[in-house]
Structure 1
Amino acid sequence: MSNAPIVEACRLAYSGFERNRRDALASFLHRDVVFEFPESLPYGGRYEGIEEFRAWWTVLYAEYYDYFHYDAHAVIDGGDHVAVPVTARAQARNGAQMENEHLFLFRIEDGMIVHGRIYADTAKGRDVLAGQAPRRYPKLDVIAAARVREAGLPG
């Protein structure tokens, strides 16, 4: 079975930031769909069934974010899975803004999405929800660190 309709719906839902159109993708959600979001976020967890999933979105916008927009890097059809790496742009209710990389992974059965999971840098999300700029660390100088270790010097 071809996932072409779901792939196209993902393109519409996750491309163009403010132009995201999610209605077509929602039509492919199985009534017993399960979505999982990282539990390190205050709205994380496992949400079962279309009613609970839709309620999750309602609470997400009512409590946490003014908007959450996406732009897909690709939509990858893997047969029984569709993967969508995206750049996400969001503004928390407190006004803090975030740009983050996410990956949506959907499991497909009989032309319907039966499971979804979001993989993301949740530390950025927590920082933004706390009203802080996302914490960033400088790139580790791995060459220098490796030479110190090889020389037997304390790191």
Structure 2
Amino acid sequence: MPFVDISLARGKKPEYLRAVSRAVHDALVAELSMKPDDNFQLIHQHDPGEMVFDRAFRGGPRSDDWLVVRVIDGLERGEPAKRRFYRTLVRLLGEGAGVRPEDVFVMMSLAGPDSFSFAGGVIGTDVLAAEALNAADRAPARAAAYTTGELRYALTELFERHDRDLVRPMLRDDLVLRVPRSLPYGGEFTGIQPFENLFSGLPGGDAVWESFTVHVDRIIEADGHLVVQLTNTAVPKSTGTPHVIQNLWLFGVAGGRITTAQLYADTAAAAGLAD
């Protein structure tokens, strides 16, 4: 997931720029286990006077071909891997573009997955969780335990996209589901099937609602639980008037699996809308 900024003097030929780009990418793949298609770079060319540097401080002698590589990484790679990366980068830049080792300046900084959004406004943690779940789905057996990131992503998909496929294998077989008894579908239930039944459609059914949109405001991890705060925008067919209902779900988690699911809601308001 590294993002790379490369700064160098203006006036280099396109083949030189391609060689520099390739050397940086190949070094990342070889030494930091970056995926070959994870390739995002910006190359900045600077006029004379725009790159200010000392020609001898802690290295050098540096020439007018001084080159700066800044890598913003989403994972902490550790010192041994960074040492290998620096050495390999210098070697590949020399072999591919003729860059002198003394002219290579490298900076690495860490930005967690939540600091990235690759496209569509989707936070990077959700992308990583989806990739991990897809990989687990291709494995011979379902995972014995899931990470908090994977659980959070699956719950977001459950509420916002009504996708039960990701969360289903995360449920313990003896899952306990609690829904306020003041609701028509309320009660305490054990097992996965009641959970499936509850989330298979809209509360009250399509005959009641013109539309029912769920937005996950946030998911909080606290004391062996995941607290999912929701804002629901419901439009009953009886009135056609939008209403906003806020509620939350409390999911118990043990051993990387969901053990309990409990709804806390303004049941009077919800029941009144469905009437």
Same fold judged by TM-score > 0.5?
Answer: yes
Choose which of 65, 77, 101 in structure 1 pairs with 2:221: 77
- Does structure 2 conserve the Cα–Cα contact (< 8 Å) formed by 1:7 and 1:77? no
Question: What one-letter code is carried by the residue in structure 2 that aligns with 1:34?
Answer: V
CA deviation profile, 1:55-113 (whole Å, cap 9, x unmatched): 34458454875464311111112251000101013355756654200111100011111
What RMSD in Å do the two structures reach over aligned CA positions? 2.7
* Contact 2:177–2:194 (8 Å) recurs in 1: no
Q: Which residue of 1 aligns with 2:261?
A: 116
SS in 2 for 1:124: helix
How many residues align? The count is 127
Q: 2:233 matched to which residue of 1? A: 89
TM-score by length of 2: 0.40
Q: Of residues 155, 175, 180 in structure 2, which corresponds to 1:33?
A: 175
Look up the match of 2:191: 49
**Secondary structure at the residue paired with 2:166?**
helix
Q: Comparing both structures, which one devotes a greater share of its residues to strand?
A: 1
Residue 95 to residue 55, structure 1, CA distance change in 2 (3 Å): farther
2-structure distance, mates of 1:27, 1:78? 22
Structure 1 runs (4+) greater than 6 angstroms displaced? none
**Within the alignment, does 1:3 sit opposite 2:148 as a pair?**
yes
Counterpart amino acid of residue 258 in structure 2? I
Judge conservation of contact 1:98–1:125 (CA < 8 Å) in 2: no
In structure 1, distance between residues paired with 2:212 and 2:171:
20
Partner of 1:151: none
Residue in 1 that maps onto 2:158: 13
Counterpart-to-counterpart distance in 2, 1:91 and 1:30 = 34
Distance 1:78 1:34, change over 3 A: same
Q: Which moved more, 1:58-67 or 1:22-31?
A: 58-67
- Identity among equivalent pairs (%): 26
